[in-house]
Chain A
């Protein structure tokens, strides 16, 4: 079900919508942070936040309020908030729009979150390539500081909060939270073993909460509406997947875009209602539901949940494209919600080339720390290139599953799963297409990822 909302995106497209006057006029600018910091206790903030059922927007979907509640005051060490804006998961293009078009929501979110978790400093870790985003955030922080919202006494309270922008230098892995902490500390961005978890020993060895940027940007809306009311806007409120969020659609659709909707929209609605349908009105070959690490779905797949106690039962027998996009519903159909940005591939796209394209990404971005990931990602890419060149044997095709399953669970961080899970999805769902290359029935030089020229012209209309 599509329910359009316009809390975070109300400044999008407005003249100077990224500046403080627009934020004050359109978003109750900083009224919510003022109320929270001057009238609520820290404990009340965390209790209230839990009611929002906001599942982390970075991809893992961990409940934000619960994460905040892990923060305990330390007798000697300060606490930190680290905001993850290292957006780089292929298919994900949502956080960038917030930073460029509504940066003040992030700054206000930082004030409330810092207060809730007991931190006085927030670092917003932005990937270096997003120069406009960094500039807009820095300008927003400066505007907020000039008005006394950020600094030693925000809103006259005795709770100092500083917000800084920190930049990466080109490494997908730094979006992994412990890698991000190492990178913030000035080290190579190699993930850390957990435990200790960031809430115990995060940045600079101190208690730290790492939240995705969209998560933080949603905080002022949550507290302004009341967290329970915010949660109930979602069709999946009963599954503890609350609120409104940014949805993205890209790939072979007529209108790729980012839009704010209540949780509950389906993949079919994303393709046809939000995305305007498939280029050239072709059929859908497959979709990647939320970033390249989430296993691929095909339209002919259906939900199998005959047991009435199964939370997926309401959608039993339906196409996976008619299941609402939620953290647990997508898990229920064997994939993940991820970042909620759907990549659509039209009929005619070569799935083997798409598979190889993604494995090349993982090979390039593996930090190299763990052998199964470092060697496995390269091995997957090499073998797929060999398959596309028509030089691989059936044995080598079979090996791909072994390689992927030997990465799963054998690495320090989730990058390993992020590589292996989509690989297994392609292997299961496109076996005949892979075999066709091995048998010499298809040739790599004919493989295409784009749809026909006529279709692209239609898109431009």
Chain B
């Protein structure tokens, strides 16, 4: 078996051992393990795919198939911070179009792009289950709800700092 250059930190290795204990098959740990790897590396590289495949005794093509199916696995490097603006109808009814336009203007990029300094990747998201507190955006692992132009400005200023 080819050795892979990627490895998890000791803390994440322990987490992986715990996760493997939850399931009757190794394959079931595929998505949680990919999350662990992406948390460490920022995106899922070919090395990570090989690492996960080897550790879980899966064909590389299986892991690649999983990575390409789910939108939250980054298949290329992303910014230090990730911003998702929900664009689906309930948020759109409450002004998510303006939120996105404000983000694009302030960051100087379009949705789907990363700022030149590598700090922020901006994307649109489909419904994030926050329709009652719309419009909203997700920044890394946090939700920001009931957005106003002032709130959006503050959040982006913090990310750009």
Interface, chain A (partner B; CB < 8 A):
78, 87-93, 95-96, 123, 127-132, 162, 164, 166-172, 183-190, 204, 248-252, 256-258, 288, 292, 341, 343, 345, 349, 354, 357-358, 361, 364-365, 367, 449-450, 456
Chain B residues numbered 111-139 whose CB sits less than 8 Å from any CB in chain A: 125-134, 138
A170 nearest CB across to chain B (Å): 4
Q: Please give the residue numbers on chain B whose beta carbons come within 8 Å of chain A beta carbons, in ascending order.
A: 22-25, 27-32, 34-35, 56, 58, 62, 65-66, 69-73, 84, 87-90, 92-95, 97-98, 125-134, 138, 141-143
| Chain A CB within 10 Å, residue with most, of B90, B134, B141 | B90
Check A128 against B127 for contact (C-beta < 8 Å).
no
**Nearest CB of A to B52, in Å:** 10
Residues from chain B with a CB closer than 8 A to the CB of A184 are 28
Quote the shortest CB–CB distance from B64 to chain A (angstroms): 10
Contact between chains at A127 and B129 (CB < 8 Å):
yes
A92 and B73 form a contact (CB under 8 A):
no
When A90-B89, A131-B142, A185-B28 are in contact, do A450 and B129 touch as well, CB less than 8 Å?
no
Pair B35/A169 contact, Cβ less than 8 Å = yes
Residues from chain A with Cβ under 8 Å of B29 in the complex? 186
CB contact between A251 and one of B32, B90, B143 (< 8 Å): that residue: B90
Q: Which residues of B contact A166 (CB under 8 A)?
A: 22, 31-32
Q: A87 to B131: give the CA distance in the assembly, Å.
A: 11
Q: Which of B25, B72, B132 contacts A186 (CB 8 A)?
A: B25
Q: How many whole Å from B55's CB to the nearest CB in chain A?
A: 12
Return A422 CB to nearest CB of chain B, in Å.
10
| CB pair A167 B93 closer than 8 Å | no
Asked if A358 and B89 sit within 8 Å, CB to CB, the answer is yes
Beta-carbon contact of B97 and A95 below 8 Å: no
Smallest Cβ-Cβ distance to A95: which chain B residue:
B129
In the assembly, what is the distance between CA of A131 and CA of B138, in Å? 10
State which of A183, A256, A341 has its C-beta within 8 Å of the C-beta of B31: A183
List A contacts of B142 (CB < 8 A): 131-132
CB proximity of B65 to chain A, nearest CB, Å: 5
Q: Which residues of A sit under 8 angstroms from B32, Cβ to Cβ? A: 166-167
Bound CA span A288–B92, Å: 14
Closest chain-A Cβ to B56's Cβ sits at a distance in Å of 8
- Complex-state Cα separation, A89 to B127, whole angstroms: 7
B125: min CB distance to chain A, Å: 8
Question: Which residues of chain B are within 8 angstroms of A132 by Cβ–Cβ distance?
Answer: 142-143
Asked, given contacts A167-B32, A248-B131, whether A189 binds B88 with beta carbons under 8 Å apart, the answer is no
| B132, A257: Cβ atoms closer than 8 Å | yes
Bound complex: CA of A41 vs CA of B132, how far in Å?
41
- Nearest B residue to A128, CB-CB: B72
A-B pairs, 9 with minimum CB distance: A186-B30, A169-B70, A170-B72, A170-B71, A186-B27, A250-B131, A188-B69, A90-B127, A131-B141
Question: Would you call B66 and A186 a contact (CB within 8 A)?
Answer: yes
The minimal Cβ–Cβ distance linking B154 to chain A, given in whole angstroms, is 17
A187 smallest CB distance to B (angstroms): 7
The reply to whether B31 and A186 contact each other, CB–CB distance below 8 Å, is yes
Distance A129 CA – B56 CA, assembled complex (angstroms): 24
Contact A361 B129, beta carbon cutoff 8 Å: no
Q: Closest CB of chain B to A184's CB: distance in Å? A: 6
In whole angstroms, how far apart are the Cα atoms of A449 and B70 in the complex?
29
Q: Contact between A169 and B131 (Cβ–Cβ < 8 Å)?
A: no
Q: Could you list 5 A-B pairs, sorted by A, with CB under 8 Å?
A: A88-B128, A91-B131, A132-B143, A186-B30, A343-B131
* B28 CB contacts on chain A under 8 angstroms: 184-186, 204
Could you tell me if B89 and A354 are in contact, using CB atoms closer than 8 angstroms? yes
Report how far A365 CA is from B25 CA in the complex, Å. 28
Contacts of B84 in A (CB 8 A): 129
Assembly CA distance A92 to B86 (angstroms): 13
B31, A171: Cβ atoms under 8 Å? no
A121 to B: closest C-beta gap in Å: 8
B97 near A450 (CB under 8 angstroms)? yes
Residues of A near B22 (CB, < 8 A) are 123, 162, 164, 166
Q: Are A364 and B126 interface neighbours, CB within 8 A?
A: yes
For B141, the chain A residues whose CB sits under 8 A away are: 131
Cα–Cα, bound, A211→B10 (Å): 36
Would B131 and A341 count as touching, CB distance under 8 A?
yes
A257 to B, closest residue via Cβ: B132
What's the Cα separation between A258 and B131 when bound, in Å? 10
A361 touching B128, Cβ below 8 Å? no
Which one of B34, B65, B126 lies within 8 Å of A90 (CB-CB)? B126
With the chains together, A96 CA to B133 CA distance in Å? 12
A456 near B95 (CB under 8 angstroms)? Answer: yes
* Pair B90/A189 contact, Cβ less than 8 Å: no
A91 and B126 contact, CB distance less than 8 A:
no
CB distance from B159 to the nearest CB of A (A): 17
Residue from A96, A186, A361 in contact with B126 in the complex, judged by beta carbons closer than 8 Å: A361
Q: A187-B66, A250-B93, A449-B93 are in contact. List 9 more A-B contacts (CB 8 A).
A: A92-B129, A169-B34, A186-B29, A186-B31, A186-B66, A188-B66, A189-B70, A256-B131, A292-B89
Complex interface: chain B residues within 8 A of A186 (CB) = 25, 27-31, 56, 58, 66
Bound-complex Cα distance A258 to B89 (A): 18
Contact between A450 and B131 (Cβ–Cβ < 8 Å)? no
CA distance A167 to B87 in the complex (A): 23
Contact of B130 among A93, A162, A354, A357 (CB under 8 A): A93
- In the complex, the answer to whether B71 meets A171 with C-beta atoms within 8 Å is yes
Bound CA span A78–B95, Å:
49
Q: Kindly provide the distance from the CB of B111 to the nearest chain A CB, expressed in whole angstroms.
A: 13
Q: Are A88 and B94 in contact (CB under 8 A)?
A: no
